[in-house]
Structures are given as C-alpha cells and as structure tokens.
Amino acid sequence: MTTKALRHTALISAALFVSAASAHAQTLRLNHNNPEDHPTHVSMQYMSERLSELTDGELDIRIYANAQLGSQRESMELVQNCTLDMARSNTAELEAFEPMYSAMNLPFIFESEEHFERVINGDIGQDILNASGDKGFIGVAFLTEGARSFYGDRAIHSPADLEGLKVRVQPSPSAIRMVELLGGSPTPIDWGELYSALQQGVVEMAENNPTALTNARHGEVVSHFSLDEHTIIPSVVVISSCAWDRMSEDQQAAMRQAASEAQAFHSESWNKAAMAALETAETEMGVEINEVDKAPFIEAVMPMHDEVANQSAELADLISRIKAEAN
C-alpha cells in the first residue's frame, strides 16, 4: 500500500474514532508535521484544552503530530475539501492558497520580533487570517516560529557565501525568489526528507529557526548556524469552512478566544525554546553559531518587496500597513 493510501486509511480511521467518541461532543481533527515535543504542538494542545473548557466539552481538538494524516500541503488540500477539519501550516506554504500571506514571507519585512508581534496581534493579522474565507478555510491563530537563518556545512557571512550552493527551501515562490537573489540554488525538499538530504549532501544548506537543530536533530548533520535572520515565518492554525460553518456563533467565539489565548501562550514560550535550542546545538551538538552583518542580505533581497507589491493593490496596501507598524 502506498504512503498516500496509508494516510487516507489513517484519516478515515481517525474520522470513525472521533465520530464514535461521543454522540454530543464534536472533536476536530488537526494535523501537523512537527513532533509532539515541539513548542507548536504544546501550544495547540493548550488551545484544545481551552476550547473544551470554554464550550463545556462541546468542542475539542484531537491533534495528529508527525504528519500522520499527510504533509503540510496535503493537509491544506484536505482542509479545503472538508476531509480534514484543521491543520497547522505556515505562511510560506499558505501563499499558494491565499496570496495575502506572501506579504509576511518577505525577507526583512519585520524589523524585530516586537514589530512582528504588533502585526499578528492587531487588525492586520486578523485581516490576513480572514482573507481566505472564500477559499475553503480561515486562519484562527499565528504561532511564531521566530526568525529563520541559514545552516549547513559552512558559515554564511554574506550573500557571496551562498553563491551556487544548493539551499533547501519550502515550496514557496517567496522562499525560492529570496534564495535566487542571494545567489543560491533553491531546492524544494519535503521537511521529512531534509535530515537525510543534509546528511548525504543533496543540499549544502537549509534555512529555518534554531529548533530545527534540536527537535529535528539537524544539528547532528550540520556544522554551522549563521544568524542572518532573514524572515519570520509563523505557523498558522487553520480550520475548514465546513467545520467553521457547523459551529454556533458561541462556539465560533470560543474557538477565536482559545486560539487567541494559545497565540499569546506560544509567543511567551517561544523565545525560551529558541535560545535553549541554540545553546544545546552549540554545547552538545558541536554546531558553531555565527554572527552575521545583515546589511548585504537586506540590500540583495529588497527588490522582492516591490515585486510582491506590484502583484496587486491589496498586497501593496498590506505591505505598507505592515511596514508602518515598525514605528
């Protein structure tokens, strides 16, 4: 039986399990590709617990880690066709489903973590989450995953160091374009295959936040992590329009409250997790942490801001609003 068939069987089994669990309570199935000890999983568990409390047990969320029900892209397609209730994706992959997310994927659009937090916790963040309502899903929460940097078999101090290197990227036009402008060779590879790709030299570089070194054990197969911090690509918890429309107004309000509280809970815990990952990678895994002058990287990728803004008036306005929040 193929992997896709196995996942389809697992999804049907999960649906039967959930439907039999209670004649009254509704359990929403949420799939994601991180392990159960990852901070995003912990925060989604928190959201499930709060949702159950706020609805007196009418609603809760059953979370499937490690891509049990499919990859990120497969999960989004299942959400869109109402086969799966919820998923955790990220803004890089979501731009293929809703263009408004592409503004958040622009390198160096956020001047700091504080700037990013103002955006996701305000009207701009809510507008982005709601933008996909006509595409079969809406977002309910942003879960920060901090700044992403390059890591691999050598230090990266300037764009020149990336020249000609194969760099693993997510299947995102923004990620591909960014690496092209920096001189690298963008190579889309599924997250689950990246460890072996780095180990075997299929790619020389990857880019992600520091927890990739520890939670995904990439620190075992790379020697350098270079802190250029080019993007802040958050996770996004989404829900299918079918599941959302089945809820009463009170249940929808409870979902939004539980998601908002989980978003705040996650932001508080993330920085500690990222700092701990850097320390573990350096002291226990032998990864060298490299400081980087960001100015050459910023200069190289600035054309992307105009390129994305020129795609539509809506995106141009969104990018201006995000930048205005920096002050």
Q: Which CATH number is 159's domain given? A: 3.40.190.170
User: Is there a single domain that holds both residue 39 and residue 182?
Assistant: no
Low-confidence ranges of the chain (pLDDT < 70): 1-24
User: Is there a single domain that holds both residue 47 and residue 158?
Assistant: no
User: Is there a single domain that holds both residue 170 and residue 192?
Assistant: yes
User: Is there a single domain that holds both residue 39 and residue 122?
Assistant: yes
**What pLDDT, on the 0 to 100 scale, is given for residue 305?**
97
User: Is there a single domain that holds both residue 74 and residue 32?
Assistant: yes
**What pLDDT, on the 0 to 100 scale, is given for residue 327?**
77
**What pLDDT, on the 0 to 100 scale, is given for residue 238?**
98
User: Is there a single domain that holds both residue 151 and residue 212?
Assistant: yes
User: Is there a single domain that holds both residue 181 and residue 292?
Assistant: yes
**What pLDDT, on the 0 to 100 scale, is given for residue 25?**
82
Distance CA 208, CA 180 (A): 17
User: Is there a single domain that holds both residue 252 and residue 125?
Assistant: yes
CA contacts within 13 A on the Cβ side of 25: 20
Task: Quote the number of domains for the chain.
Answer: 2
Strand partners, 88: 237
pTM of the model: 0.88
Phi and psi at 15, nearest 5°, equal: -65, -40
Query: Which one, of 172, 59, 155, lies nearest residue 106 by Cα?
Result: 172
User: Is there a single domain that holds both residue 69 and residue 171?
Assistant: no
User: Is there a single domain that holds both residue 137 and residue 213?
Assistant: no
User: Is there a single domain that holds both residue 49 and residue 114?
Assistant: yes
**What pLDDT, on the 0 to 100 scale, is given for residue 7?**
55
**Domain span holding position 160:** 147-232+275-324
